Structure 1
Amino acid sequence: MIKMIALDLDNTLLNSQRHISEANTRILKKLHKQGKEIVLCTGRPINAIWAWLSQLGLMNENDYSVNFNGSLVIHNVDKQPLMADGMQKGHFASLHEFCAAHDYPLDILDFSGVYPINDLPLSGYEKRLGGNMHFLHIPFSKLPDVDYSKAVICTAPRVLDQIVQNLPEKLKHDFHIVRSQPMILEFLKPGVDKGSALDVLLKRFGWTRDNLMTFGDAQNDLEMLASAKVGVAMANGTPAAKQTANAVTEVDNDHDGVAQFLQTYFADENV
């Protein structure tokens, strides 16, 4: 029996205008009211998704989110972490050297804010991520000694294509690297992903992967698509997402693909 529904945001639950449609909102709120746990799984921090959590009514005692692509599982109502799996500043030294050598931008995130590294070219990540976040432009040498969730290279898709093709083996060893969007490449702690974070949350409820349904579209969703009893790729998803999932929506994120799939799957539950 499906008890938890976990959803990626960009190009999955969100449409091209970065809105959750009325149809998606209505069915998710109804399923939540019926006792399903609805979990947003994103590369963003919780402050950047607060409006969407509020829109869906995910502010009850048992409501959690997966943030930073799996580095953090957080209790929505009080923003207290259930799990935080971060890295230290030194972990990013080789990545900073790589970016400096090729004039690539770099943003490094802790668990509450973003540090655009200003001894490198300006990144487009701040504009992409939007408001409700603290950004501190700082040189790499001045980064504070705190736990960090991930790093991001945000640049033009054609430049990112070249970066992916030429990543040093050391970086591939030191990080779990995922391309979450055409213009965003993310560097996570090895072993950290949305699927592993959902395992933590399932354990919290005493459930297993047989109780999990997931929706995603991109490389950073593959682990959670593979781990679920019902892993659903979007019609607009990448070939890898569709190959990994065991179901695909009939329509894309701009035509309520999530809502249509849920309506059909839970038809016997009067959704």
Structure 2
Amino acid sequence: MYKLIAIDMDGTLLKDDKTISKENFDAIQRARKNNVKVVLATGRPVKGIEKYLKELNLIGEDEYAVTFNGAVVQTTTGNHIMAKTLMTLEDLHYLYNLSKELKVNIHAHTTEECITPKSSKYSVLEAELNSIPLTEIDFDNLNENTTIVKVMFIDDEKTLDRVIKALPKDIYEKYTIMRSMPYFLEFLNKNANKGTGVKLLSEKLGIKQNEIICAGDADNDKHMLKYAGLGVAMGNASDNIKEIANFTTKTNEEDGIAYVIDKFIFNKDI
């Protein structure tokens, strides 16, 4: 029996208009009543998913979220951090210098805000998407106690295509690197990813690996799909994610999460 389902947000739980369908909402509530722990696993900070947590009734000291692509695992109220895998200022300065060399925009997340040496429409979008402050600040003069959760190269799709090809080969040994959207390239601590986040949470909750479902659609979901007892790709997922998955469900526009819950948690013949 599955006891935990970790669900990605954009392109998975959310429809293209960023809403949760009634079918997905109802299925999640049925799973919760059946003592299945429902966890949102996202690249966003907890502030960026707060309205969805409230909508799904997932606010509480015994409710959890995997945020910042697994760098932070926390309760959904009280902001009690159960596990964190952060970056250093040295990482930020290295990536900042690289961004100048590659001529690409950059910003970083602290636990409270998005910071950037030069604001762009992509940083504005990130701040608005996550309901967090955006602060323009010189990265060379940051307070030494600044907490860096993740760093992002942010630019138009063609620019990021070029930048990815030009990245130093050894950079993949230093960081977890993922393209979460066409215009977002994320750098995290080498040990941080959604799979690690789900693993840390499940161990604290005493839930076995084979009792976990993870569902997603994009590159930043691959680690948790590999870790899960049942890794689920959305019908709209990229081909490499479908290859990793144990099962491909319907698309995010076709209530794919509800389909998974009904089929694998309630064993409905659908």
TM-score by length of 1: 0.93
**Residue 260 of structure 2 corresponds to which residue in structure 1?**
261
TM superposition shift of 1:269: 7.9
Number of equivalent positions: 267
In structure 1, give the amino acid aligned to 2:155: T
TM superposition shift of 1:16: 0.7
**Residue 172 of structure 1 corresponds to which residue in structure 2?**
172
Any idea what SS the aligned residue of 1:136 has?
A: strand
Contact 2:71 2:193 in 1 (8 A): yes
Deviations 1:214-246 (A, max 9, x none): 001111100100111111000100111101110
Contact 2:110 2:147 in 1 (8 A): yes
In structure 1, give the amino acid aligned to 2:134: F
In 2, the alpha carbon distance for the partners of 1:219 and 1:162 equals 18
1:47-66 superposed matches below 5 A:
47-66=47-66
In structure 1, give the amino acid aligned to 2:122: G
**Residue 85 of structure 2 corresponds to which residue in structure 1?**
85
Q: CA RMSD in A?
A: 1.7
- Find out whether 1:185 has 2:182 as its counterpart: no
In structure 2, give the amino acid aligned to 1:243: E
**Residue 19 of structure 1 corresponds to which residue in structure 2?**
19
In structure 1, give the amino acid aligned to 2:125: K
Q: Residue 123 of structure 2 is aligned with which of 104, 122, 125?
A: 125
Deviations 1:184-217 (A, max 9, x none): 1100000211011111101111122111000011
Contact 1:71 1:85 in 2 (8 A): yes
The alignment-based identity, stated in percent, is: 27
TM superposition shift of 1:88: 1.6
Taking a change above 3 Å as real, the CA distance of residues 212 and 129 of structure 1, as seen in their structure-2 partners, is: farther
In the alignment, structure 1 segments of 5+ residues that lack a partner are none
**Residue 142 of structure 1 corresponds to which residue in structure 2?**
141
In 2, the alpha carbon distance for the partners of 1:99 and 1:268 equals 49
**Residue 157 of structure 1 corresponds to which residue in structure 2?**
157
**Residue 98 of structure 2 corresponds to which residue in structure 1?**
98
Contact 2:2 2:265 in 1 (8 A): no
In structure 2, give the amino acid aligned to 1:12: T
Contact 2:177 2:186 in 1 (8 A): yes
In 2, the alpha carbon distance for the partners of 1:168 and 1:135 equals 29
TM superposition shift of 1:102: 2.8
In structure 1, give the amino acid aligned to 2:254: H
Contact 1:105 1:123 in 2 (8 A): no
**Residue 42 of structure 1 corresponds to which residue in structure 2?**
42
TM superposition shift of 1:129: 4.4
TM-score by length of 2: 0.94
Taking a change above 3 Å as real, the CA distance of residues 236 and 268 of structure 1, as seen in their structure-2 partners, is: closer
Taking a change above 3 Å as real, the CA distance of residues 14 and 92 of structure 1, as seen in their structure-2 partners, is: same
In 2, the alpha carbon distance for the partners of 1:242 and 1:29 equals 27
Any idea what SS the aligned residue of 2:152 has?
A: strand
1:191-210 superposed matches below 5 A:
191-210=191-210
In 2, the alpha carbon distance for the partners of 1:239 and 1:129 equals 30
In 2, the alpha carbon distance for the partners of 1:170 and 1:61 equals 40
TM superposition shift of 1:267: 3.2
In structure 2, give the amino acid aligned to 1:257: G
Contact 2:123 2:134 in 1 (8 A): no
TM superposition shift of 1:35: 1.1
